[in-house]
Amino acid sequence: MKQPAPWKIILSYVWITLGSAVYALGFCWCYEPNQIGFGGITGIGQIVNHFLPLIPIGVVVIILNVPLFLFGWKLLGGHLLVSSLYAMAISSLFIDLIDAVYTFQPMEPILGCIFGGVLMGGSLGVVFLCGATTGGTDLGARLLKLKLAWLPIGKLVMVIDLAVIVAVAVAFRNLSSALYGLVSLYISTLVMDGVIYGLDNARVAYIISDRHQDIARAITQDMDRGVTILHGEGAWSGAEKQVLLVAFKQRQIVTLKRMVQDIDPAAFLIVCEAHEVLGDGFRSYKQNDL
């Protein structure tokens, strides 16, 4: 397998560092001062720090991650584990550093949920895209992804984190902590999956027209998109129909609709969202893809 260029490796670690810094900021600013339930090993670190304030949360995270990293070494390979070890260590360091430098004041819990969810989900999405995790349940979700490849990574993280959020609420003796944590977890899941899967911004169109050849020619020449012709039949009329199938970028949707309208105002056009499009003109499949 061809090794990535050194500058690409350096760039990915720069993004991992930035993502880890935002992750730590979201935790220290939105979760910790408001006692909002947080999932994963960081949530367990919250519990330990609550009862033993002298033990920093970041230290707990590092200690509890060791057996998980040892378990994942054979399954995920060296590159992912090394980058994840770096992300886990640097995010834990940032958490303890921010706590030592500045103490954030509590805010309206619902604001902490919203902004914390956005910061956490966005930062984790960036870290995942760079081929790393922050350890803990993020790494656990990455391991489960090997067996449950059809599930979005954000949903896996959400399922694993639920139990820890409940434990945090019990430790703080505050049901609201768990409820706010669930809201924030849902937001972070949406943002994470949006960052990981939403960047494709791809659509699929089905076009039924008597002038399908003219439309297909215009799409291939003017939009530089491939077209597949499907053979169909009208259920009521029994007439043979040619259906055009085309995948395109979101930014091209206006061009496509205007083009079809100009060529055949009577054309039937269906546009659907595409979760992922792999192939020429779009992204390529990679081993251990999310």
Q: Are residues 10 and 115 in the same domain?
A: yes
Contact in structure between 260 and 267 (CB atoms under 8 Å): yes
pLDDT-above-90 percentage for the chain: 30
CA–CA dist 207, 136 (Å, integer): 47
How many distinct structural domains can be found in the chain?
Answer: 2
Would 285 be classed as within a structural domain? no
Residues with Cβ within 8 Å of residue 267, at least 6 apart in sequence: 207, 208, 209, 211, 215, 260, 261
Q: Is residue 284 domain-resident?
A: no
For the cut 90, the answer to whether the pLDDT of residue 153 exceeds it is no
Final residue before a domain boundary, out of 199, 217, 238: 199
Domain range for 269: 201-274
> Which residues are registered as beta bridge partners of 231?
242
Residues 113, 192: one domain? yes
* Boundary-marking domain end, from 142, 171, 199: 199
DSSP 57: H
Asked if residue 289 belongs to a domain, the reply is no
Do 110 and 208 lie in a common domain? no
| Better-scored residue on pLDDT, 24 or 154 | 24
What pLDDT does 76 receive?
A: 60
Considering the domain architecture, whether residues 174 and 164 belong to the same structural domain is answered as yes
178, two tokens: 């768990």
List the alpha helices (DSSP H) in 130-270.
Answer: 136-147, 153-172, 175-197, 212-222, 253-263
Does residue 1 lie in a domain region? Answer: no
The first and second tokens of residue 195, run together, are: 């960052």
Give CA–CA dist 76/154, Å, rounded: 18
pLDDT at 156 over 80: no
Shared domain check, 170 and 26:
yes
Together in a domain, 111 and 67: yes
Same domain, yes or no: 233 and 125: no
Spatial neighbors of 148 by CB under 8 A, at least 6 apart, are: 156
In CATH, what number is assigned to the domain containing residue 257? 3.30.70.120
72 class by beta-carbon count within 10 Å (0-12 exposed, 13-18 middle, 19+ buried): buried
In a domain, 93, yes or no: yes
Question: 159-173: per-residue pLDDT in tens?
Answer: 778 878 877 778 778
- Among 1-15, 210-224, 271-285, name the one with the lowest average pLDDT: 271-285
Measured distance CA(139)–CA(146) in Å, rounded: 11
Report, as an integer, the average pLDDT of 104-127. 92
With beta carbons less than 8 A apart as the criterion, state whether 65 and 41 touch: yes
Residue 287 falls within a domain, yes or no?
no
Q: Please indicate, yes or no, whether residues 104 and 181 belong to a single structural domain of this protein.
A: yes
The answer to which of 130-134, 143-147, 212-216 has the lowest mean pLDDT is 143-147
* DSSP string across 173-204: T-HHHHHHHHHHHHHHHHHHHHHHHGGG-EEE
| Selection from 158, 126, 162 nearest residue 290 by Cα | 126
What band does 201 get if pLDDT is binned at 50, 70 and 90? low
Judge if 23 and 116 occupy the same domain. yes
Backbone phi, psi, residue 262, to 5°: -70, -40
Residue 33: inside a domain: yes
More confidently predicted of 276 and 64? 64
Classify each residue of 124-135 as buried b or exposed e, where b means 16 or more C-beta atoms within 10 Å of its C-beta.
bbbbbbbbbbbb
Q: Mark whether 153 and 262 lie in a shared domain.
A: no
Asked if residue 233 and residue 106 are part of one domain, the reply reads: no
Residues 6+ apart with CB under 8 A from 190: 117, 121, 154
55 and 133 in a single domain? The answer is: yes
Mean pLDDT of the region 213-227: 91
Instruction: Specify the residue for token string 């999932």.
Output: 39
281 domain-assigned: no
Task: Report residue 95 as tokens.
Answer: 């958490």
Domain end, chosen from 160, 176, 199, is at 199
Q: What pLDDT score was predicted for residue 278?
A: 66
